[in-house]
Amino acid sequence: MFAILRQRLRQKNRTLNYPFAQPEISPRYLGRPQIRKGACPDSCTICADSCPTHAITLQALRDEEGIALDMGRCLFCGACAQACPRKAIVFTQEHHLASPARTGLIITAKTPETPAIHRNPKRNFSIFSRSLRLRQVSAGGCGACEADSNVLGTPVFDMARFGIEFVASPRHADGLLVTGPLTENMRVALLEAYEALPDPRLVIAVGSCAISGGLFEDVQECNNGVGNLIPVDMFVPGCPPNPWSILDGLLSLAWYAKHVR
Amino acid sequence: MEFHYTQSIDTREIPALAPEILGIRISHMVGQGWRVISFCALRNTESILLELSLLCLLAHEETGKIAAFRTSPLSPGDTYPSITPQCPQMHWFERELHEQWKIIPEGHPWLKPIRFVPPMNGERERPLPGDTNYFTVAGSEVHEVAVGPIHAGVIEPGHFRFQCYGEEVMHLEISLGYQHRGIEQRLQHGPYKATPTVMECVAGDSSVAHATAYAVLTETLLEQHAPAQGQAIRRVALELERLANHTGDMGAIAGDTGFLSTASWCGRIRGDFLNITALLCGNRFGRGLIRPGGTLYTVDPALCQTILERLELAYRDMCGAVNVMFHSASVLDRLQSTGILSTKAAQDLGIVGLAARASGIPTDARFRFPIDGFQEETAQIRTLTSGDVYARALLRYQEAEDSMNIIRRELAHLAKITQTPSPACTPLPLRLPPHRLAVAFCEGWRGTVCHTAATDASGSFALYKIIDPSFHNWIGVAMVVRNEQISDFPLCNKSFNLSYCGHDL
């Protein structure tokens, strides 16, 4: 008994006062990409050639419209930034990546540096009156997105203080948090879980697999993410997204529900 | 044909046996201490017909030797005498081969799909996932409990059928395949530019192990070596992966016994280890770090020092959190003598990795098939004999100590060799040599990851076979819950903590 109490004191209080305090993420972390305008000659395709997932599309007039990087396909591996001799693509330390719209994940030279949702730091977290219950469904996820979602329940993130929790049954849930490229063998099970949710229901797609199929785009056994099967309310890109990005996505849901819907 | 595990061989020189003889040879060798590491169909790419040779690879741990056999060509629909009745560790391989190519092992005791996917010969017709005749127990007070594919926690999907008599489990059948993404097909005719990233997604929690196995395999085929810095960084990343997952598992085992303080602390400390991996490459799972030829990131003495300091803090916290659990009588009561896997059963079924070591089998690819530059004297293979949940939990704690010793040594070594900047990666030729076959092992935290590749005449992959330890070990979970209370299933399952996607591919 005393040993447990002593250990409790040693383990300290580790919860970060997010989102008012910002987390310390590795200096080598690759976050929200930025694209420099006018850096690219018209014939250059180095970045698109280096990308393992077709996340980069090149516009015809490269100097004016530049390149478009789809974070929904991006693995944040940094291959394009390393390959580009002109440093046209830079990955910043910014972990606010989530977007309620699929188009909000596409980065061009014209995209503002901070996403619209995050201009006002005092956000209202009280979606469903400070009670958001989620059912997590892995539909072909490799376990990384699942692990980084599950970790939100640990003391560092402690998402329960915002009223967010994972529950065991879709019938107890307000929304689904889906990971994975939606394998053919999970299609029916995911649909059944979605139909078991009471209205109004939310869907959060976490990871590039769930958003676009990611590394498994156009593979016969997968269905290019969950968006083709059920409507998605929030996209959190990454492979896997940093847990702070996922928590930010969940908190952004409240902002979105209030201002957009 | 026998060769050393660090070498590659010419696929055309593998002797062809009649399919009837193959089983006799395999069971004879398994009796002499060999282990089946791969059994699959190698397609003759020079023939327009669908000609398949059954390729069997066995490994001998004491000598580091690999034996390769293949059969004369077969076609879908052909039969051969099943090897499983004499050699139970073949059971899953034969079921996989039957599902993929419709080659029928005659006399297999339990021939059913393992992934519920369409065959690889181009037919589109597919079975419904989980739709099969399950083993059932009849009787007036016997009942069946069906769980999944979607489980209660935040984990991957799979379907479990329990046959229970009251609280007691008489039998558990595990039906997987929900996570099947078609990775083997995705790798065929490669390597492509996405291949290294696909390897990192085979099993998310073993990203480093699978990426290392792929890198070592490519280097073996090309007869190249990664620079000393790259090799040392790989080893550090692999041990960090082990520390993170072992810590997470011990926390999860504590959680399933209701000892919530350790569960909560370990959940946090696991994240600390992952964040240390992120210091190396920015990604908490080590993605984007390991590539054939070395690593994409370098370190310097200052970074080595930072990693070491943070590591010692996290390790101290982990020891404190886990010690209180192992000193709690109520936890020990739940763990000891629960879910016993006997040495005999583990040997017969070909169980690998931590689960095998907890049942007294000294197997560990780090020591049996060491990758260039591994200092074997830093640690040794740990085994326990009781084979219960307690043994699998305690072994994790002991192995974490070994991992710390290995990392301390590697970091000291790295700090020395990086005082002047040196490369961590050598550029490799783009094309692989034609008609070569090689094998690579990497001991992930769960067990031995084994990759096998064979190239065709143009040097692209005619075959790329990934065997995650989960492939061998799922049957172990089914075996240990027999005659246990169904309420102990979560503990038994957590003590193995197998990967669904690593199995389903």
- The full set of domain ranges for chain B reads 2-106, 185-465
B428 pLDDT tier (thresholds 50, 70, 90): confident
Q: What is the pLDDT of residues B322-348, one digit of tens each?
A: 999 999 999 999 999 999 999 999 999
- Give domain B185-465's CATH architecture: Orthogonal Bundle (1.10)
* pLDDT given at position B75: 86
* pLDDT given at position A259: 53
| B159 reaches A (C-beta below 8 A) | no
A204 half-sphere exposure, CB direction, 13 A CA radius: 31
Question: Are B182 and A146 in contact (CB < 8 Å)?
Answer: no
Separation in Å, CA of A154 to nearest CA in chain B: 6
Q: Domain-by-domain residue ranges, chain A?
A: 33-109, 132-259
Residue numbers in B near A189 (CB within 8 A): 129, 149-150, 157, 178
* pLDDT given at position A261: 46
Alpha carbon of B481 to those of B164, B313, B339, B389, B490: distances in Å?
11, 37, 6, 11, 10
* pLDDT given at position A121: 47
Is it the case that residue A221 has pLDDT exceeding 80?
A: yes
Q: What is the pLDDT of residues B16-75, one digit of tens each?
A: 888 888 889 999 999 999 999 999 998 887 777 788 889 999 999 999 999 999 988 888
Angle at which helix B489-496 crosses helix B389-417, to 10 degrees, equals 20
* Rounded distance between C-alpha atoms, residue B492 and residue B480, angstroms: 7
Q: What is the pLDDT of residues B73-91, one digit of tens each?
A: 888 889 999 999 999 999 9
Question: Are B156 and A149 in contact (CB < 8 Å)?
Answer: no
Contacts of A124 (CB under 8 A, 6+ apart): A254, A255, A258
Question: Are A50 and B193 in contact (CB < 8 Å)?
Answer: yes
Residue that is written with structure tokens 């990087």 in the block? A69
A17 pLDDT tier (thresholds 50, 70, 90): confident
Average pLDDT over residues B207-231: 93
* Rounded distance between C-alpha atoms, residue A159 and residue A165, angstroms: 7
Between B91 and B124, residue with greater pLDDT: B91
Is it the case that residue A124 has pLDDT exceeding 60?
A: no
* Token reading at A257: 């529900």
Residue numbers in B near A185 (CB within 8 A): 115-117, 129, 177-180
For testing contact with chain A, the best of B156, B186, B319 (most A CBs within 10 A):
B156
* Token reading at B393: 């939990």
| A90 reaches B (C-beta below 8 A) | no
Average pLDDT over residues B6-10: 91
- What topology is assigned to A33-109 in CATH? Alpha-Beta Plaits (3.30.70)
Instruction: Identify which of A136, A139, A155 has the shortest CB distance to residue B264.
Output: A155
Q: What is the pLDDT of residues A74-92, one digit of tens each?
A: 999 989 998 888 888 899 9
Question: Are B204 and A156 in contact (CB < 8 Å)?
Answer: no
| B4 reaches A (C-beta below 8 A) | no
Q: Which of residues 298-327 of B touch A (CB under 8 A)?
A: 317, 320-321, 323-324, 327
For testing contact with chain A, the best of B126, B151, B201, B277 (most A CBs within 10 A):
B201
> Average pLDDT, whole number, for chain B?
91
Instruction: Identify which of B178, B197, B317 has the shortest CB distance to residue A183.
Output: B178
Separation in Å, CA of B471 to nearest CA in chain A: 15
Percent of chain B with pLDDT strictly greater than 90: 72
Is it the case that residue B389 has pLDDT exceeding 80?
A: yes
B261 pLDDT tier (thresholds 50, 70, 90): very high
| A127 reaches B (C-beta below 8 A) | no
Is it the case that residue B408 has pLDDT exceeding 90?
A: yes
* pLDDT given at position B345: 94
Is it the case that residue A59 has pLDDT exceeding 70?
A: yes
A115 pLDDT tier (thresholds 50, 70, 90): low
For testing contact with chain A, the best of B151, B178, B323 (most A CBs within 10 A):
B178
Q: What is the ipTM of this complex?
A: 0.92
- Give domain B2-106's CATH architecture: 2-Layer Sandwich (3.30)
| A54 reaches B (C-beta below 8 A) | no
* pLDDT given at position A35: 87
CB atoms closer than 10 angstroms to residue B362: 14
Tell me which H or E stretch contains B438: strand B436-443
For testing contact with chain B, the best of A142, A204, A220 (most B CBs within 10 A):
A142
Percent of chain A with pLDDT strictly greater than 90: 37
Q: Which of residues 60-79 of A touch B (CB under 8 A)?
A: 75-78
Average pLDDT over residues B264-270: 93
Average pLDDT over residues A67-73: 90
Options 3.40.50.880, 3.20.20.140, 3.40.50.300, 3.40.50.12280; CATH of A132-259: 3.40.50.12280
Which residue of B lies nearest to A26 if distances are taken between CA atoms? Answer: B279
* Rounded distance between C-alpha atoms, residue B395 and residue B379, angstroms: 14
* pLDDT given at position B19: 86
Is it the case that residue A235 has pLDDT exceeding 90?
A: yes
Q: Which of residues 112-141 of B touch A (CB under 8 A)?
A: 115-117, 126, 129
Task: Indicate if the alpha-carbon torsion angle B243, B244, B247, B249 is positive or negative.
Answer: negative
SS3 B337: coil
Separation in Å, CA of B500 to nearest CA in chain A: 8
Separation in Å, CA of B438 to nearest CA in chain A: 25
Average pLDDT over residues B493-497: 93
Separation in Å, CA of A115 to nearest CA in chain B: 22
Average pLDDT over residues B183-203: 91
For testing contact with chain B, the best of A221, A242, A246 (most B CBs within 10 A):
A221
Separation in Å, CA of B354 to nearest CA in chain A: 19
Which residue of B lies nearest to A136 if distances are taken between CA atoms? Answer: B154
- Residue B69 one-letter amino acid: F
CB B435 within 8 A of CB B428: no
Name which of B289, B294, B291, B290 is nearest B225 in CA terms: B294
Name which of A31, A243, A29 is nearest A156 in CA terms: A243
Is it the case that residue A258 has pLDDT exceeding 60?
A: no
Average pLDDT over residues A46-52: 89
| B204 reaches A (C-beta below 8 A) | yes
Q: Tell me: cis bond preceding B149? Omega within 30 of 0 counts.
A: yes
Which phi and psi angles does A67 have, rounded to 5°? -115, 155
Average pLDDT over residues A164-183: 91
Question: Are B155 and A138 in contact (CB < 8 Å)?
Answer: yes
What is the Rg, in whole angstroms, of the alpha carbon atoms belonging to chain B?
A: 22
DSSP conformation letters of B285-304? T-TTTEETTEES----HHHH
SS3 track for chain A: CHHHHHHHHHHCCCCCCCCCCCCCCCCCCCCCEEECCCCCCCCCCHHHHHCCCCCEEECCCHHHHCEEEECCCCCCCCHHHHHCCCCCEEECCCCCCCECCHHHHEECCCCCCCCHHHHCCCCCCCCCCCCEEEEEEECCCCCHHHHHHHHHHCCCCCHHHHCEEECCCHHHCCEEEEECCCEHHHHHHHHHHHHHCCCCCEEEEECHHHHHCHHHCCCCCECCCCCCCCCCCEEECCCCCCHHHHHHHHHHHHHHHHHCC
Task: Indicate if the alpha-carbon torsion angle A191, A196, A202, A207 is positive or negative.
Answer: negative
Question: Are B205 and A143 in contact (CB < 8 Å)?
Answer: yes
Is it the case that residue A257 has pLDDT exceeding 80?
A: no
pTM of the model: 0.94
A14 pLDDT tier (thresholds 50, 70, 90): confident
Q: What is the DSSP letter of A106?
A: E
Average pLDDT over residues B136-153: 88
Name which of B35, B25, B28 is nearest B350 in CA terms: B35
Q: Which residues pair with A206 in a beta bridge?
A: A179, A236
* Token reading at A116: 């619209």
* Token reading at A231: 């409507």
| B406 reaches A (C-beta below 8 A) | no
